[in-house]
Homo-oligomer: A and B are copies of this chain.
Amino acid sequence: MIQPKASSVLTNLFSPFQIMDDSSPRPVRSMFAWLVGASQVLGLASVVLTGVWMGHYRGGFAWNGSAQEFNLHPLCMVLGLVFLHGDAILVYRVFRNEAKRNVKLLHGIIHLLALIISIIGFLAVFDFHKAAKFPDMYSLHSWCGMATIVLFCLQWVMGLLFFLFPVASSGLRASYLPIHVFCGLVLLVMAIGSSLLGITEKLLFSIMPTYSLFDPEGVLANILGIVLVCFGVLLGYLITREDYRRPPNPEEESLSVHFKTLIEGGSPTRP
């Protein structure tokens, strides 16, 4: 029976520079650690820049139907649908040598957190629009953003059914896995694209007369956009590069290790 190595997963959470398999060549390990570090700096920078933009230039945060409630929308979306979403995908590379069920659980938990935060951000903008009697769902940002969040929810439910509480046969799961992985990356790109559209929309609604004069608010928001693009490119590289992939483990696959065995503590060979 395989025991979950939860403690080592948690230890590794705080030691990203010692995460690669010792059998990997040293330059590959070292480069991977630097790139993961850089991705985290970019991801956190995007959240901080959004917070500064909304907090300093747009009057801060509240939940009272005012523009301050709207300000929660960009912050929650960048935090949930971009940063946490990206990191939830990245755990499969960072913890590539940990037991798959632990990594899967961590992936699901971070995604749940991303989903909750995104839904708060989603509600914030609709609540603000309702209070201010602003129309909904007419802009390209709203169309792309709505498509992203609906598909993100669908992807989360499908992931839950297929991989955490596997109701599908192992053959079906194996067929769905590459689609799940592809859709995860597409949704991250769509979330970043929607964020850039939101930045442009917000700037043109708020500071159109001074935007072309390199207003500091505009420059800050543009930099936020570029940081989001760099985060996406780095995540894309880390996720798709062959050297960084989780090594196949036929034994683990054949044991069909999944959430059920983890929570019940039963034999992983149980169907």
Contact = CB atoms under 8 A, between A and B. Distances in A.
B229 A196 contact: no
Given A182-B240, A233-B186, A236-B182, A138 B193 contact: no
A208 B205 CA distance: 9
Contacts of A196: 140, 144, 193, 196-197
Contacts of A178: 241-242
Interface residues of A, number: 41
A139 B190 contact: no
Contacts of A186: 233, 236
Contact of A201 (B182, B204, B222, B240): B204
Interface stretch (A113-121, A210-218, A247-255): A210-218
Question: What is the interface of chain A mostly: helix, strand, loop, or mixed?
Answer: helix
Given A140-B203, A178-B242, A201-B200, A190 B229 contact: yes
* Identical subunits present: 2
A225 interface: yes
Contacts of A36: none
Contacts of A138: 211-214, 218
A58 interface: no
A81 interface: no
A144 B147 CA distance: 23
Contacts of A242: 178
Interface string A6-19: 00000000000000
Max chain B C-beta neighbours (<10 A), residue from A147, A212, A213, A221: A212
A225 B140 CA distance: 7
A41 interface: no
Given A138-B214, A147-B229, A204-B204, 14 more contacts: A135-B212, A138-B211, A139-B218, A140-B196, A140-B222, A144-B226, A178-B241, A182-B236, A189-B189, A190-B229, A197-B197, A200-B201, A201-B204, A240-B240
